[in-house]
Structure 1
Amino acid sequence: MATTIRGARAARRVDMVRAWVVLAAAVVQAVAGSLGGSGFFGESQQVLSDRYPSPLMPATIAFSVWTVIYLALLVYAVHQTLPGQPARAVHRATGWWFVATAVFNAGWIVVFSQGYLGTAQVLIVALLVSLVMILRTLARFPAESTVDRVLLHGPMAFYTGWVALATVLGATVTSTYLGAEPGPWVGALVLLVAVAVICGAVFRTVAAVPFAATAAWALFWIAVEAGAVVATVAGLGALAVVAAAALRARQGSRPAFG
Structure 2
Amino acid sequence: MHIDRHPIVSSEQWLAARKALLAREKEVMRQADQLAAERRALPWRRVDKEYTFDTAAGPRKLAELFDGRSQLLVQHFMLGPGWEQGCPSCSFMADHSDGMNVHLAQRDITLLAVSRAPLAEIERFRRRMGWRFDWVSSYGSDFNGDFGVSFTPEELATGEVEYNYGRRFFPAQEAPGISVFVRDDAGQVFHTYSTYGRGVEVMMGAYRMMDLTPKGRSERDVPHKMEWVRHHDRYDAPAGTKAAASCCHAHD
Same fold (TM over 0.5): no
Larger Rg: 2
Task: Give the TM-score taking structure 1 as reference length.
Answer: 0.30
Task: Give the TM-score taking structure 2 as reference length.
Answer: 0.30
Specify which structure has the higher proportion of helix. Answer: 1
Specify which structure has the higher proportion of strand. Answer: 2
